[in-house]
């Protein structure tokens, strides 16, 4: 039994994160994902720089959690209070889709509105609680991260639960990967431009 199969959770200084490290299909892809999650726990994470003047949009996938009264209001207040601690950030608003499970991105109206605001330059940092709020598809999520990173200025996503920032320097090679381009004539990500942007943080 290897390390991935042996451990179902990892202790960190701040919390215990549960990962499904045992996969029924035993596929190479599933093993790579598990290894990547372990690697994420071992590195020093990069997060959005609070000194940089980001324009922040908060994405929430909300469904009626009957255990908690006024859950949505409380959740929104937590986000607003945290962003208020970053005086260089401009809060552009909440984008809230309802539903207990993640639909396809194109069927989530508020996510689509958020993408439009990113394309128009209104938002350059998306904050949401977890990856599964946005998509269940790794390929879809990766393409979305790459597409947003190719904008000028680049748009990053920060996932709180997983502590993942898509514009972290250790993801630049992944963002440049042409395998995620939908057409062969699409140009790769201008890595020099995004590196200069990140170095200017």
Domain containing residue 81: CATH number: 3.40.50.1390
Residue 37 shares a structural domain with residue 60? no
Residue 97 shares a structural domain with residue 17? no
Residue 192 shares a structural domain with residue 93? yes
For residue 39, name the pLDDT band (cuts at 50, 70, 90). confident
Taking all residues of the chain, what is their mean pLDDT, rounded to a whole number? 76
Residue 109 shares a structural domain with residue 186? yes
pLDDT one-digit tens code per residue, 103-123? 677 778 999 999 999 999 999
Residue 152 shares a structural domain with residue 99? yes
In residues, how long is the chain? 201
Q: What is the DSSP letter of 80?
A: H
pLDDT one-digit tens code per residue, 141-161? 888 888 898 888 899 999 998
Is residue 26's pLDDT more than 70?
no
Residue 87 shares a structural domain with residue 114? yes
Residue 108 shares a structural domain with residue 13? no
Residue at 179 is within a domain: yes
Residue 92 shares a structural domain with residue 35? no
Query: What is the tally of structural domains in the chain?
Result: 2
Residue 27 shares a structural domain with residue 76? no
Query: From the CA atom positions of the chain, what is the Rg in Å?
Result: 18
Residue 123 shares a structural domain with residue 169? yes
CA distances from 79 to 43, 58, 124 (A): 26, 8, 17
How far apart CA 7 and CA 75 sit, in angstroms, is 31
Residue 113 shares a structural domain with residue 146? yes
- Phi–psi pair at 7, nearest 5 degrees: -105, 130
Residue 146 shares a structural domain with residue 78? yes
Residue at 49 is within a domain: no
Residue at 130 is within a domain: yes
Q: Which residues pair with 61 in a beta bridge?
A: 97
Residue at 95 is within a domain: yes
Q: In the prediction, which pLDDT does 165 show?
A: 92
pTM for the full predicted model: 0.70
Residue at 50 is within a domain: no
Beta pairing, strands 125-128 & 55-62: parallel
For residue 27, name the pLDDT band (cuts at 50, 70, 90). confident
Residue at 67 is within a domain: yes
Residues of the domain holding 8: 3-42
């Amino acid at each position: 039994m290897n390390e991935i199969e042996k451990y179902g959770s990892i202790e960190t200084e701040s919390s215990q994160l549960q990962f499904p490290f045992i996969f029924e299909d035993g596929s190479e892809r599933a093993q790579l994902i598990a290894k990547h999650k372990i690697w994420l726990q071992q590195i020093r994470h990069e997060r959005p720089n609070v000194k940089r003047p980001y324009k922040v949009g908060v994405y929430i996938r909300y469904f009626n959690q009957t255990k908690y009264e006024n859950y949505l209001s409380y959740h929104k207040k937590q986000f607003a209070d945290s962003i208020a601690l970053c005086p260089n950030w401009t809060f552009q608003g909440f984008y809230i889709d309802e539903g207990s499970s993640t639909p396809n991105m194109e069927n989530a109206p508020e996510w689509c509105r958020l993408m439009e605001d990113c394309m128009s330059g209104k938002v350059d940092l998306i904050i949401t609680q977890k990856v599964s709020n946005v998509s269940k598809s790794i390929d879809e999520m990766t393409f979305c991260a790459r597409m947003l990173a190719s904008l000028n200025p680049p748009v990053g996503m920060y996932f709180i639960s997983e502590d993942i920032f898509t514009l972290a320097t250790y993801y630049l090679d992944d963002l440049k990967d042409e395998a995620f381009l939908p057409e062969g004539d699409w140009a790769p990500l201008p890595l020099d431009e995004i590196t200069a942007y990140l170095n200017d943080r």
